[in-house]
Amino acid sequence: MIGHIFWMDSSEGENGDELLHVTYGTNAHDETQVDDSQICVVMVGLPARGKSLIAQKIVRYLKWLSINAKSFNVGSYRRADTPQPNAEFFNTGNTEGERMRRAAAEAAVSDMLKWFGEGGHVAILDATNSTKARRTWIKGQCDAKGYECLFVESRCDDPDLVLSNVLSVKTSSPDYVGQDPEDAVKDFMARIRNYEKVYQSIGDEEQVTFVKLINVGSQVVINAVQNYLQTRIIYFTMNLHITPRSIWLSRHGESQYNVEGKIGGDADLSVRGYAYAQALPELVAKSVGDAEITLWTSTMKRTIQTAHHLKYPKKQWKALDELDAGVCDGLTYEEIEEKYPVDFRARDDDKYNYRYHGGESYRDVVTRLEPIIMEMERGENIMVVTHQAVLRCIYAYFMNVPQDQSPWMEIPLHTVIKLTPRAYGTQEERFKADIPAVSTFRAKYASANMGAGSEEATENSGAPTEAPAQVDGVADAATTEAKDAIIASAVAANDVAKERGIEVNGDMLVTE
């Protein structure tokens, strides 16, 4: 059971006075327990209905929210004895096949119950679970131990959707590795027909908690939801779709604060930041082509200025604003180390959970990003121009990066990252603009004093730092020559920086 506590600690203030920090929270740093329930999410549906994809996404989403979740895939247990069965194995008249499939289900459920006993919160039982008898047995096993069951049925009678799933399975399922693709498709269709002979959709008479996703969410039927965690899982599954799309991520261009090595604030872009903003339409067009996209920024000047020349429908989100550095807003890392040495070290010890006094932690940012992630799941092509900490959290969601690593990830400045969700994982491409920027990246336990020549140099690498007085005017009215001059100055700065041993362009990072 997780309790609620006050944390109290102190550090030296600006004038040598002691600052007392009181934080209210839970004593669970590595896990956010939304309630005490332990839930078995039982997937239901014929093969090729996207069940494994939904199962993986639920696990990724819950883990990102610090809820301990794990998928138990019955097919993987079955493969231990029968790695590549043909369709006949799944014929209900095949008693040996039936016995082995039952044994695989029992092994998965047994491991799942053990995992619950060790404190797991949400298990996904990823299998067809296509008969009422099988579901009744699973529910009985869970009821006996006091674990809840939430059935998630994916029904799909759209032949095109099924075919596209079948085609993706033939290329990605270990059941068909090394086999002729056409034979694999034929066998898989025959397997589906065998399942169809016995498939029973969940009926009301089963009196269970369920959500039925019909034709990938075009219709949703929900029954007997019991608590908040179940509601969250159901709401998440309702927002999933499988329309092919991509997500583009970019940090804002280099800001004046970046140049000065300061964190936080609401500074304008530097000259090189403006050059990036000007280069962005061409860079984005390379990978977007004619696709329709929606552009999201934070409410801060540097992201709005960066997106200025992109001619897509735009939306500003407060939730995309940078991690709030509280009392450290506007300070350099050197100043933070000097004024708050205990905090400086504590943040390195546990950067994900460390909350700036009067500000936020990465964990807090994830919490406020949940609606953004939900909208990203619901939406189609979206480009997000935001800040480093926020991008780390969004990237960690899509790429399944563990919490202890996500705050230390390298998300280069002046680079567009394209993420394309696929059936089994997310594909990533990066597009770099040839425009240099300073780096304020600090590796764990590195000194705050990042002089030129170090990997984490903060120094201005030679470019002029004043922003033009008329920001939009300069950007809009810039002649080709003026733009070229800005970019030439940025490229020259790049060369200077290289001479001084500072890494530039996409290899550098600015941590805010």
21, 148, 153, 252: which one is catalytic? Answer: 252
Q: 253: annotated binding-site residue?
A: yes
Cβ–Cβ contacts within 10 Å for residue 324, how many?
A: 18
Those residues with Cβ within 8 angstroms of residue 439's Cβ, 6 or more apart along the chain or in another chain: 413, 450, 455, 456, 457, 458, 502, 503, 508, 509, 510
Helix axes 132-145, 95-117, angle to 10 degrees: 20
* DSSP character string of 18-54: EEEEEEEEES-SS---SSS--EEEEEE--TTSSHHHH
CB of 127 to ligand SIN, least distance (A): 3
429 is in an annotated binding site: no
End-to-end CA distance of the chain: 35
Question: Which H/E stretch holds residue 222?
Answer: strand 219-223
- To ligand SIN, the closest distance from the beta carbon of 174 in angstroms equals 10
- Would the annotation count 68 as a binding residue? no
Q: How far is the CB of 126 from ligand SIN (least distance, A)?
A: 8
- Binding residues for ligand SIN, rule: CB under 6 A, are 74-75, 78, 101, 104, 127-128
| HEC readout, 414-438 | CEEEEEEEECCEEEEEEEECCCCCC
For ligand SIN, the closer of residues 74 and 385 by Cβ is 74
- Compute the residue count for the chain: 512
Q: Backbone phi, then psi, for 351, in 5-degree steps?
A: -65, -30
Q: List Cβ neighbours of 428 (8 Å cut-off, separation of 6 or more).
A: 399, 417, 418, 419, 420
Q: How near is the Cβ of 145 to ligand SIN at its closest, in Å?
A: 22
Structure tokens at 264: 């936080």
Marked catalytic residue, from 148, 153, 260, 322: 322
Minimum distance from CB of 104 to ligand SIN (Å)?
A: 6
Annotation says 322 is catalytic: yes
Q: Which is nearer to ligand SIN, 208 or 331 (CB)?
A: 208
Residue from 214, 230, 231, 212 nearest 222 by CA: 212
Kindly tell me which of 49 and 78 has the beta carbon lying closer to ligand SIN.
78
**Min. distance of Cβ 88 from ligand SIN in angstroms?**
13
Residue 170 vs 387, nearer CB to ligand SIN: 170
254 is in an annotated binding site: yes
User: Is residue 33 a known part of a binding site?
Assistant: no
Phi, psi of 349 (to 5 degrees): -60, -40
Q: Specify the residue, 101 or 351, whose C-beta has the smaller distance to ligand SIN.
A: 101
Measured from the CB atom, the residue of 87 and 222 that comes closer to ligand SIN is: 87
Angstrom distance (rounded) from CA 255 to CA 464? 12
Q: Is 512 a catalytic residue?
A: no
Residues of the binding site: 251-258, 302
Residues annotated as catalytic are 252, 322
Binding-site annotation: residue ranges for substrate:
251-258, 302
